[in-house]
Homo-oligomer: A and B are copies of this chain.
Amino acid sequence: MIDDPVDAFLPGPRATEAGVPGGPLSGLSFAAKDLFDVAGHVTGGGNPAWAADSAPAETHAWAVARLLGAGADLAGKTITDEVSLGILGENAFFGTPRNSAAPGHVPGGSSSGSAAAVAAGLVDTALGTDTGGSVRVPASFCGLYGIRPSHGRLPLDGMMAQAPSSDTTGWFARDAATFARVSAVMLADEGGTPPRRLVVARDAFGFAEAAVRAALAPLLDRLAGVVESVAHEVMAPPGLSVWGRAQRTLQPAEAWQTFRDWLDRDNPPLAFNVARGLIMGSLVSDSDRQWAGLMRREARARLNDLVPPGTVLAMPTTPFAAPPTGLPLTEQNALREQILCLCAHGGLAGLPQINVPGARLDDGRPVGLSLLASPGHDMDLVRLAEKLETRDG
């Protein structure tokens, strides 16, 4: 194992490219998680055997091309958890990118290097992916704005798949203005209206650690101050853990389908826990998968009912702040299961969600507040974040 924290970028020569001059993102730099194709470079997916088995990409991924076309400069590719399977950001082959917002603690994953690079000020924004929390969690742990867009809204061409029915492309930024600039380009949407009705997810706040609730309280108060009405509702009537179980059934089973041919052909080295996740996915029964599919339908209906256009749902992004690096797997996995209870709705229901930074525990570690909107209303959340930061400033 690599014990010391490492740089956010992949080791070796950087994949760089200047953006098209004169675009709306001119002057901004960005990094891309090593799940996105950059023409002329191998997409390594956080696993040396995957990289060894891959030819250099011929064209840029859609998301990379989008940012370059808007004028942002590519500064390099970043470390990711192996084949995007990981939520803490510790890669057994490449190491754990340094979380400058919480030294000695994990950056969160799987978009670990992208979040770490933005948090450290190495770039202005960075591309990540979010299947089961891989943008939301590192945004919370590193104190960043981060988005999981509406599922299916953005093309995923040139992005390495994990579980397509949950996969999304997301991005990070340190401030609301940059976040809005990048989001408007990525979403091709200059509009957005801050929602005026707030629903506070009482079960999600109840699930988070007391210190997280306390740290988020001032942010939640400010949020209440910029809307017209506030309600407190249970988000997941069957239980967040039941939703978590459904997502933890669907996603690994789908990831197994994505990777099984590669595993069978190459027998690649994988970190033990990554292999275990895939194998557990291979063991999911049809009846469990069918049950989880029904629960997904119910979760979608519930959230669409709870969060109509014009409403924002608020919840803690993660139940706790970044844990220390180097925990034994049994402890890591217990934490992961808790995190997934607060993230499962993303893959199940596909609503857009942003993480808003600004809260910290007494020891300085950041924790994020999540805002969700009706599918397609991604920019409403971005505008709300701008309004909230302005009020903050």
Is there a chain B Cβ closer than 8 Å to A210's Cβ? no
CB distance from A63 to the nearest CB of B (A): 29
State whether A270 and B275 are in contact (beta carbons under 8 Å apart), knowing that A1-B49, A49-B1 are contacts in the complex. yes
How many angstroms between the C-alpha atoms of A1 and B263 in the bound complex? 11
How many angstroms between the C-alpha atoms of A32 and B284 in the bound complex? 42
Is there a chain B Cβ closer than 8 Å to A328's Cβ? yes
In A35-62, the 8 Å CB interface with B consists of 49, 52
State whether A269 and B267 are in contact (beta carbons under 8 Å apart), knowing that A1-B49, A275-B275, A275-B276 are contacts in the complex. no
CB distance from A87 to the nearest CB of B (A): 14
Copies in the complex: 2
In A260-314, the 8 Å CB interface with B consists of 263-273, 275-276, 278-280, 283
How many angstroms between the C-alpha atoms of A110 and B328 in the bound complex? 29
Would A268 and B329 count as touching, CB distance under 8 A?
A: no
Q: Quick one: which of B268, B272, B280 contacts A1, CB cutoff 8 A?
A: B268
Is there a chain B Cβ closer than 8 Å to A6's Cβ? no
Neighbouring B residues of A273 by C-beta, 8 Å: 267
Would B330 and A264 count as touching, CB distance under 8 A?
A: yes
Would B268 and A92 count as touching, CB distance under 8 A?
A: yes
Q: Quick one: which of B90, B267, B280, B328 contacts A272, CB cutoff 8 A?
A: B267
In A60-99, the 8 Å CB interface with B consists of 90, 92-93
- Nearest B residue to A1, CB-CB: B266
CB distance from A199 to the nearest CB of B (A): 39
CB distance from A359 to the nearest CB of B (A): 30
Would B265 and A328 count as touching, CB distance under 8 A?
A: yes
State whether A329 and B49 are in contact (beta carbons under 8 Å apart), knowing that A275-B275, A276-B279 are contacts in the complex. no
Would A267 and B263 count as touching, CB distance under 8 A?
A: no
How many angstroms between the C-alpha atoms of A273 and B270 in the bound complex? 10
Would B329 and A267 count as touching, CB distance under 8 A?
A: yes
Q: Quick one: which of B264, B279, B330 contacts A275, CB cutoff 8 A?
A: B279
How many angstroms between the C-alpha atoms of A52 and B92 in the bound complex? 13
CB distance from A263 to the nearest CB of B (A): 5
Task: Mark each residue of chain A from 102 to 113: 1 if its CB lies under 8 Å from any CB of chain B, else 0.
Answer: 000000000000
In A197-232, the 8 Å CB interface with B consists of none
Neighbouring B residues of A329 by C-beta, 8 Å: 263-265, 267
Task: Mark each residue of chain A from 312 to 340: 1 if its CB lies under 8 Å from any CB of chain B, else 0.
Answer: 00000000000000001110100000000
- Nearest B residue to A49, CB-CB: B1
CB distance from A122 to the nearest CB of B (A): 27
Would B275 and A272 count as touching, CB distance under 8 A?
A: yes
Which 3 residue pairs across A and B have the least CB separation, nearest first?
A: A275-B275, A269-B269, A264-B329
Q: List 6 A-B contacts (CB under 8 A).
A: A1-B49, A49-B92, A267-B272, A267-B273, A268-B272, A272-B275
| Contacts A92-B269, A267-B271, A268-B271 known; 4 new A-B pairs at CB < 8 A | A1-B266, A267-B272, A275-B276, A275-B279
